[in-house]
């Protein structure tokens, strides 16, 4: 896995990711391969995040959703 080199990264979706903006193009999530929850550093006040391993027509990504927003974590090679 490696960090994404793009400046603009966004995710659309409710409880699950539906689309990912990478490199100026929206990619539709075709498959959710895995889902897990991490508690985070709760002792520092960090809230839990849900993580999703998703596949699009142009690659696989790990995205996460916390209480405030979605985040693209990594591109899966």
Going by C-alpha positions, the residue among 74, 19, 77, 22 that lies closest to residue 51 is: 74
Two tokens at 60?
Answer: 């696989």
pLDDT at 24: 84
All residue ranges of the chain with pLDDT < 50 are 1
Domain boundaries along the sequence of the chain: 9-76
Beta strands in the chain (DSSP E): 9-13, 17-22, 25-38, 49-56, 59-65, 70-76
Q: How far apart are CA 1 and CA 15, in angstroms?
A: 24
């Amino acid at each position: 896995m490696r960090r994404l080199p793009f400046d603009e990264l966004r995710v659309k979706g409710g409880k699950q990711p539906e689309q990912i903006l990478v490199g100026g193009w929206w990619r539709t999530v075709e498959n959710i391969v895995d889902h897990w929850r991490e508690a985070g550093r709760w002792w520092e006040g960090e809230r839990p995040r849900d993580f999703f391993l998703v596949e699009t027509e142009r690659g696989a990504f790990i995205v996460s959703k916390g209480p405030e927003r979605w985040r693209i974590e990594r591109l899966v090679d």
